[in-house]
A and B are shown apart, each in its own frame.
Chain A
Amino acid sequence: MTRSTKIFKYVGKRLLQGIPIILAIVIINFFLLNLAEGDAVDVLAGEAGSATPEYMEQLRKKFGLDQPLPVQLMVYLKNVLSLDLGYSFRHDMPVNELIYDRFAATGLLMASTIILAVGFGILLGLLAAVRLNTWKDAVITVFALITYATPLFWVGLMMIVVFSLNLGWFPTSGMTNVAAFYEGWDYVVDVSRHLVLPTITLSLFYLALYTRMMRASMLEQYGQDYVVTARAKGLTERRITYVHVLRNALLPVVTMAGVQVGALIGGSVIVESVFAWPGLGMLAFESLFARDLNLLLGIFLLSSMLVVVVNLIVDIIYCFLDPRIEVN
């Protein structure tokens, strides 16, 4: 069997394995969310201020909230299987429509963050390891330490203060300039300008993490026997660093990056709030307080699917990087 058919089969198998995992996540989430006191009707009635118990009963009946939990669950599962994530009573819109828009925004922010954090983390870590114990190493290490220790929201606020308010280089918030109605290339430029500050803010912490990891990983690999062999073969230090050591040192960083994609969604809540980025994080945060369970469950479902897919992608990258890992 060739490598490509092997990988194809492997992807099929992993996607199939993902289905029970995602179902389990849906069920657990459903019960977890129902553990919380109150439902959407309580919130709606509370905000209206003058709802009678009869009216609330009526609302519950309309939303199907009067049914026993297992029945509600079965109804929800049936809908999910037919790709219908239900209706958000809060936003008065189907959940599908609500989250697909938001998902694109979050996806964009996450992708740019990962590329920035992993890419620069690897570069800086490499540089620090190659220039070990010089001023460059010291500067990079201190930079990593400081960004690692600084809270996200503070970085976000400072970014706005410095780059938006004082220097005026980037917009303060949002994803597009609402008043401008850009189209085509102008729209892309506009979104990219809005993307810069949230991306930098969200990636700084991870950047620091990957820098430290990459540096440690490089130093560990330098101590391995095959490096002595490479020297004994008369290779240049350049070749040893960039071909032999680098590829081996990448492995743990890639693993870590894969694991952290899930955590990024959580981290993005803060950044999305600070920069008013219209993403899933913000939406999840709002719907939690509105007890909008359908919407919340939909977001959770989408995030768990995202994690399953990203883990699969990372595993496939991994088996190209490391021939010792067999796909089966």
Chain B
Amino acid sequence: MTKKLLSISDLSILLPTGADRQYAVQDIDLELNTGETVCVVGESGSGKSLTARAVMGLLPAPHVRVGKGEIIFGAEDLTKVTYERLRELRGSEISMIFQEPMTALNPVMTIGDQIDEIFRYHVSMSAKERAEKALSLLVDVNLPDPEKIIDAYPHELSGGQRQRSMIAMALALGPKILIADEPTTALDVTTQAQILKLISDMQKRLNTGVLFITHDFGVVADIADRVIVMQHGKIVETGTTKQVLQKPKHPYTKSLIAAIPRLKPRKARSRAAEVVLKTEGVCKSFGGGKSFFGFGKPNREVKAVQNVQIELRRGETLGVVGESGSGKSTLARCVIRLIDSDEGQIKLGDVDITKLSRKDLRPYRKRIQMVFQDPFASLNPRIRVGDIISQGPILQGEDKEDASKRAYELLDIVGLDRRSFDRFPHEFSGGQRQRIGIARALSLKPDILVADEPVSALDVSIQAQILELLDDIREQMDLSMLFITHDLRVAAQVCDYVAVMQYGKIVEMGPTAKLFKDPKDAYTKSLLAAVPGKDWHFGKLKP
């Protein structure tokens, strides 16, 4: 039997005066029942996280506060209860898990102690009982070797293990409501699938109401009963998962859904004969230094890239897909010689660039350029956009005026206003900054573009625009692209050829359509099986 757990009505959250809008969240209504999963979906800045925090009374006071409306839980209005009452409810009746389990856990406290606190501050139990309870919780969330993990510090666990510990903590006292704020965004796709399953198993067992905040419609398709779509602090659409995903009414929902990369591979194109980049037996390891005077062990050696063979033909996009730690970024950095590989050859055309000295390498640098993941960190905040773009050609000996002229043209190409030339990077949004990063990479007229997760820091609608831009540019300039990504959906959309990496090795490689349809390697299969919302992509949806 379902029972109403939480009802938010007419809630507005005020932003501090001087912010770009008055309300973070405006006039929203939301209901959550027992055993139900409600997903709140929206892009960054839509107010979805603040809504979740308001329920817990965790708004960043005093700047951001509830303006009006009520949050009814049981018989109480959570916006009006005393601080002490709120503290009692937190962790026992309503609990929360967060996006980044590394920073959300106290780094200098063991997992056991952090679970123990919840019992100490909510119920009276003997220390022995508490320790037993904590251990059984860790067993419940399927952590391997729980006796060891209870004494471990957060940094000793993997991302997935940390999030499991967070979930154990959140469910310690069997809360009625679990608020999950993007709990799987920072995790690898296979781990994400496991965590989503864990949350839904625990939910079934405890009949918890789950308020799940996410930006990913794939996740929504997998777990939600009902969906709430938010934009600029307002709810634009609500409905059952089926209604919203299959027959979206609001134009914003429609555009969001249209922007999601599908797991449907692009049409195959004929391959050119010319090989522009070829690697043979590339290896790179880190650490492995000698010990000092025979004291202590030698450093642990990590083989980041092992014996990698890839071939990139003119005009094609080769995707390198893998989870974190698979060595895909290290490979990209070796290929453009940001770091030196230990062994093997990297051939640009006919020239092996691994043996070239810095000076001899310089003429080849401009032929291969990189677009980085984080558009915020990868642009120097003190240099004007025009200079960022024209610096490369000037260093390569081009005339300053020609370089500026080219920078203006490039701004046109990447779809930025020409006036951007004299501005600083911080004046731009994430998507615009990524455009600047692309213009910078293109300024040297490269043959090859190495894109290292170029869209993973961006909202889905911006992501679609950037992918489209990259595709256009590749066509126009006859570029070849090495595209590093963790997201199979993105790879399906942009890559002609895909290489799957695991533990530094390429486990499978082939034309995108073929590889997605008929994966040979077990790891590739598990990756494909873990993609969120894959049923939805292929037209099936849970009823």
Do A and B associate with each other?
yes
Residues of A at the B interface (CB closer than 8 Å) are: 9-10, 12-13, 16-17, 224-226, 228-236, 239, 243-244, 247-248, 321-324, 328
A16 to B503, CA, bound (A): 38
Instruction: Please determine whether A225 and B100 come into contact, CB atoms closer than 8 angstroms.
Output: yes
Q: Tell me, yes or no, whether B90 is within 8 Å of chain A by CB.
A: yes
Whole-angstrom distance between the Cβ of B173 and the nearest chain A Cβ: 9
> Which chain A residue shows the least CB distance to B156?
A323
Instruction: Please determine whether A226 and B104 come into contact, CB atoms closer than 8 angstroms.
Output: yes
Q: Take A9-B295, A9-B296 as given contacts and tell me if A234 and B104 are in contact as well, using a CB distance cutoff of 8 Å.
A: no
Instruction: Please determine whether B95 and A247 come into contact, CB atoms closer than 8 angstroms.
Output: no
Instruction: Please determine whether B88 and A234 come into contact, CB atoms closer than 8 angstroms.
Output: yes
Q: Tell me, yes or no, whether B134 is within 8 Å of chain A by CB.
A: no
B109: chain A residues at CB < 8 Å are 243-244, 247
Whole-angstrom distance between the Cβ of A61 and the nearest chain B Cβ: 42
* Set B87, B100, B106, B155: member contacting A234, Cβ < 8 A: B87
Per-residue 0/1 for B80-110: is the Cβ within 8 Å of any A Cβ (1 yes, 0 no)? Answer: 0000000111111001101010011111110
Instruction: Please determine whether B104 and A225 come into contact, CB atoms closer than 8 angstroms.
Output: yes
Whole-angstrom distance between the Cβ of A162 and the nearest chain B Cβ: 43
A235 to B90, CA, bound (A): 8
Whole-angstrom distance between the Cβ of B357 and the nearest chain A Cβ: 33
Instruction: Please determine whether A13 and B295 come into contact, CB atoms closer than 8 angstroms.
Output: yes
A230: chain B residues at CB < 8 Å are 106, 117
A231 to B87, CA, bound (A): 8
A229: chain B residues at CB < 8 Å are 96, 98, 104-106, 166
| A to B CB contacts below 8 Å, 20 in the list | A9-B296, A13-B295, A13-B296, A226-B103, A226-B105, A226-B107, A228-B104, A232-B56, A232-B90, A232-B95, A233-B90, A233-B117, A233-B118, A233-B169, A234-B89, A234-B92, A234-B122, A235-B87, A235-B121, A244-B106
Instruction: Please determine whether B98 and A225 come into contact, CB atoms closer than 8 angstroms.
Output: yes
| Shortest 3 CB-CB contacts between residues of A and residues of B | A234-B91, A234-B90, A225-B103
Q: Tell me, yes or no, whether B477 is within 8 Å of chain A by CB.
A: no
A239 to B92, CA, bound (A): 17
Name the residue in B109, B118, B155, B166 with the highest tally of chain A Cβ atoms < 10 Å from its Cβ.
B109
For the residues of B in contact with A, the DSSP-based class is mixed
A213 to B461, CA, bound (A): 43
Q: Tell me, yes or no, whether B538 is within 8 Å of chain A by CB.
A: no
Name the residue in B87, B95, B108, B117 with the highest tally of chain A Cβ atoms < 10 Å from its Cβ.
B108
Instruction: Please determine whether B98 and A248 come into contact, CB atoms closer than 8 angstroms.
Output: no
Instruction: Please determine whether B90 and A224 come into contact, CB atoms closer than 8 angstroms.
Output: no
A53 to B191, CA, bound (A): 86
Name the residue in A12, A228, A233, A323 with the highest tally of chain B Cβ atoms < 10 Å from its Cβ.
A233
> Which chain A residue shows the least CB distance to B95?
A232
A9 to B186, CA, bound (A): 38
In chain B, positions 125-161 with a C-beta closer than 8 Å to chain A are 153, 155
Instruction: Please determine whether B293 and A16 come into contact, CB atoms closer than 8 angstroms.
Output: yes
Q: Tell me, yes or no, whether B382 is within 8 Å of chain A by CB.
A: no
B296: chain A residues at CB < 8 Å are 9-10, 13, 328
Whole-angstrom distance between the Cβ of B103 and the nearest chain A Cβ: 4
A156 to B390, CA, bound (A): 59
> Which chain B residue shows the least CB distance to A244?
B106
Whole-angstrom distance between the Cβ of B347 and the nearest chain A Cβ: 40
A250 to B91, CA, bound (A): 27
Supply 12 further A-B pairs (C-beta < 8 A) apart from A226-B104, A230-B117, A233-B91.
A225-B98, A225-B100, A225-B104, A230-B106, A234-B91, A234-B92, A234-B122, A239-B117, A243-B109, A247-B108, A248-B106, A328-B297
